[in-house]
Structure 1
Amino acid sequence: MNKAELVTAVSDKTKLSKSQVETMINTTLEVIQKTVSKGEEVKIVGFGSFQIQARKAKTGRNPKTGETHKIPECSIPRFKPGKEFKQLVDKKKN
């Protein structure tokens, strides 16, 4: 599902216009991105949490040439699914 399909699905379910739904989704994503980029965690009970995770510096290798190089430490966004979300996905597997 892409963003346009998500907007359509939410619009159909809520009976709100697609432009209203798109504005809400864009605003929600923007708030999550800005909050996590400040180093704060966003928790949505039953769905999951968004947080920042540090990656340590390491040595990488170019598979073509075999040459090694340093990969600096960095911070990346991380999503950790909540218990209910995990259970829902696990049920679909079986």
Structure 2
Amino acid sequence: KRRLEDGEDVLISGFGKFCVKEKKVRKGRNPSTGEVMMLDKRRVVTFKCSGKLKKKINGK
């Protein structure tokens, strides 16, 4: 958790990799009012599955 908070990627061998990505400022819309607004830049965590796990899930 601390490594992701610091912006570092976390690799778990045989399972996958958690990566921190930067999202830019962008236009958004409030779905209930339709009001256009600017969404702040932010960091998100993504996950990439390892090849071994992918093969296991797909039954190969």
Does the alignment reach a TM-score above 0.5? yes
Q: Which runs of 5+ in 2 are unaligned?
A: none
Residue 63 (structure 1) shift: 2.2
Counterpart secondary structure, 1:35: helix
The residue type equivalent to 1:80 in the other structure is K
Percent identity over paired residues: 32
Which residue in the other structure is 1:45 paired with?
13
Report the count of equivalent residues: 59
Q: Which runs of 4+ in 1 moved over 3 A?
A: none
* Structure with more contact order per residue of length (Cα contacts < 8 Å, sep ≥ 6): 2
CA distance in structure 2 between the aligned counterparts of 1:55 and 1:90, rounded to whole angstroms? 31
Note the aligned Cα RMSD (angstroms). Answer: 1.3
- Where in structure 2 are the equivalents of 1:54-93 lying within 5 Å? 54-91=22-59
More helix by share: 1
The TM-score, its normalising length taken from structure 2, stands at: 0.82
